[in-house]
Amino acid sequence: MSTTISPVDDSQSSATQPRGRRFLPRLVRPVAAVLSGVLLYLSFPPRPLWWLVLPGFALLGWVLHDRRLRAGFGLGLLAGLGFMLPLLHWTGEEVGPVPWLALATAEALFVAVGCIGIAAVSRLAWWPVWAAAVWALDEAVRARVPFGGFPWGKIAFGQADSVFLPLAAVGGTPLLSFAVVLCGFGLFEAVRSLRTYRGTGRIPRAAVAAATATVLVPLAGALAARPLVDDSAEDGTATVAAIQGNVPRLGLDFNSQRRAVLDNHARRTEQLAQEVKAGKVPQPDFVLWPENSSDLDPYRNADARIVIDEAVKAINAPTVVGAVVEPDTGKLRNTLIQWDPTGGPVATYDKRHIQPFGEYMPMRSFVRIFSSDVDRVQRDFGPGKKVGVFDLAGTEVGLVTCYEAAFDDAVRDTVEHGGQLIAVPSNNATFGRSEMTYQQLAMSRVRAVEHSRSVVVPVTSGVSAIIRPDGTIVRKTKMFTPDALVDKVPLRSSLTPATRLGTLPEGLLVLIAAAGLGWVTVRSVRARRGR
């Protein structure tokens, strides 16, 4: 008796498989895309896990490599949401989830569009270089549009403790981001080359060369740039005091007790004056108050003017006061005022990069559909036009107000205009105990290395700090605790390559990305014509 074995019908076999078993393999890349975004988020402060950005981009490289453009968009959107949703959670701290979800989704869409480009160039030789340049292009666009851009989440800002940080002094945050992303994609290419060798027994020389170079060159570049990181005092030193007065309550309603906020900062300054008189701390050459330390316009409110004047006279040092100035007509001004012990207010700087949906409300009627909090902004702020540099007791201090620290040009301008030290007066009270203050502090640390300047960050209620030109924090406060930081900081006037080159490194990276995308387009057109 013979037995006949019939061939297996693959379609029938597939049909008889459990639906879940057939569906699970399709989830691998989407889940990996989300995980890659989460790893990018976890690499940001307050966690000291900067190195997670490397496996994050290695995983994203695997997710996008040789994918179709439509798949690149979908997978990129998942990665963007995995990154931006937790990173920007603080934006909904007091206004609910709608603004947070809207902003995070908008930023994730930028990431998704960038991932289309990464998927496209992943078919080219030396693809990690093209792909990292596309990411730099995506960050450049995100930092400029819409409404003046939103650079938060730039990869460079998560690298304050990184071995790659010295590259900020060479080419600014664009080069730092590019190098980190390049190294991450290079790690994936190294793994891919190893798997190819194991599968075929042949060494893919071009792929191995690309993998080796894209991992080692960024590391070697960072090592070579270390001599640029210098905290020596080229122009002597200055003793600076940063005042953190704290706020009476958390959240958006802290403004309802504007006088209490002003009194807190005046009181802590007067207490510092007593400590100086007792010999407990040195006399500061100048004092820095935070943004919004006086939301009462001292030009219109005599009692606010008196409180500030008495505090400044008590400490007997020129003081920078953050105030809301209310002109008779036109828009409000978020202003830093140079207040002299004898001459009173002698100079001002109006914040240039003002925050959309926070300091002014674009598309007011449309946004009101989603949140009634739009009407909390009853009178819009207007942007200033002049670069802020104050001469404080012989020290040229560049001024960058809070949100402006995220913008390359806002910080670079102050150094190019003679700033020997950078001050970043900020207000984090509306974001409670969220990660926002730590993310912003990391930006200031990167800026310190980028421009080789000491950076002083006085904050109303978050984490105030004094930072050396090498990015190290020498003094800092606790959150929602009145305090005064006093320290002798080195002053510097030399310019790093990053400061001198300005937007040139970013422009070159954009051109590289454009060249890669252009070459992919040409190949695609030729392939279609050849059919």
424 vs 465: CA distance, rounded Å = 10
| Chain length of the chain | 531
Mean pLDDT of all residues belonging to the chain: 91
Strand-strand pairing, 286-288 and 237-244? parallel
Environment class of 404 (CB within 10 Å of its CB; exposed 0-12, middle 13-18, buried 19+): buried
Nearest one of 134, 123, 125, 229 to 181, comparing CA atoms: 134
- Position 17 scores a pLDDT of 59
Q: Rounded CA gap, 333 and 257, in Å?
A: 19
Backbone angles phi, psi at 467, to 5 degrees: -120, 135
Mean pLDDT in runs of 10 for the chain (531 residues)? 44 54 80 98 97 98 96 98 97 81 96 98 95 98 95 97 98 98 95 78 76 92 97 97 85 60 96 97 98 93 95 98 94 97 96 89 72 72 96 98 96 98 93 91 98 97 96 96 97 98 98 96 85 63
pLDDT number for residue 431: 85
* Farthest-apart Cα atoms in the chain, separation: 116
Sheet with 465-467, edge to edge strand ranges: 389-392, 395-399, 421-423, 454-457, 465-467, 473-476
- Single-letter amino acid code for the residue at 275: E
Own/partner pairs, 165-168, CB within 8 angstroms, 24+ separation: 165/222, 165/229, 165/446, 165/449, 165/471, 166/222, 166/223, 166/225, 166/226, 166/228, 166/229, 166/449, 167/218, 167/221, 167/222, 167/225, 168/446, 168/449, 168/450, 168/498
Q: Which residues of 262-287 are buried (b: 16+ CB within 10 A; e: fewer)?
A: bbbbbebbbbbbeebeeeebeebbbb
Looking at residue 521, what is its pLDDT?
92
Cβ neighbors of 467 (< 8 A, separation 6 or more) are 444, 445, 448, 454, 455, 456, 457, 473, 474
pLDDT at 26: 82
Q: Taking a C-beta distance cutoff of 8 angstroms, is the pair 177, 509 a contact?
A: no
Q: Measure the CA–CA gap between 133 and 207, rounded to whole angstroms.
A: 18
Check residue 345 and give its pLDDT.
97
Neighbours of 345 (CB within 10 A): 18
CA 434 to chain centre: 15
Peptide bond into 146 cis (omega under 30): yes
DSSP designation for 355: P
Place of tokens 């940001």: 44
Q: Which alpha helices (H) appear in 43-123, and where do they start and end?
A: 53-64, 69-87, 97-121
Other beta carbons less than 10 A from residue 528's beta carbon? 8
Helices 97-121 and 127-142 meet at what angle, rounded to 10? 150
186/54 Cα distance (integer angstroms): 9
Residues with a known catalytic role: 291, 351, 402
Give the DSSP letter string of 290-338.
Answer: PTTSB-S-TTT-HHHHHHHHHHHHHHTS-EEEEEEE--SSS-BEEEEEE
- The SS3 of residue 503 is coil
CB atoms under 10 Å from CB of 125, counted, come to: 10
Alpha-carbon gap, residue 523 to 36, rounded angstroms: 29
DSSP state for residue 468 in the 8-state scheme: -
Whether pTM > 0.75 for this model: the answer is yes
- Residue that has been written with the tokens 């959670």 in this structure: 89
The encoded tokens of residue 81 equal 């949401």
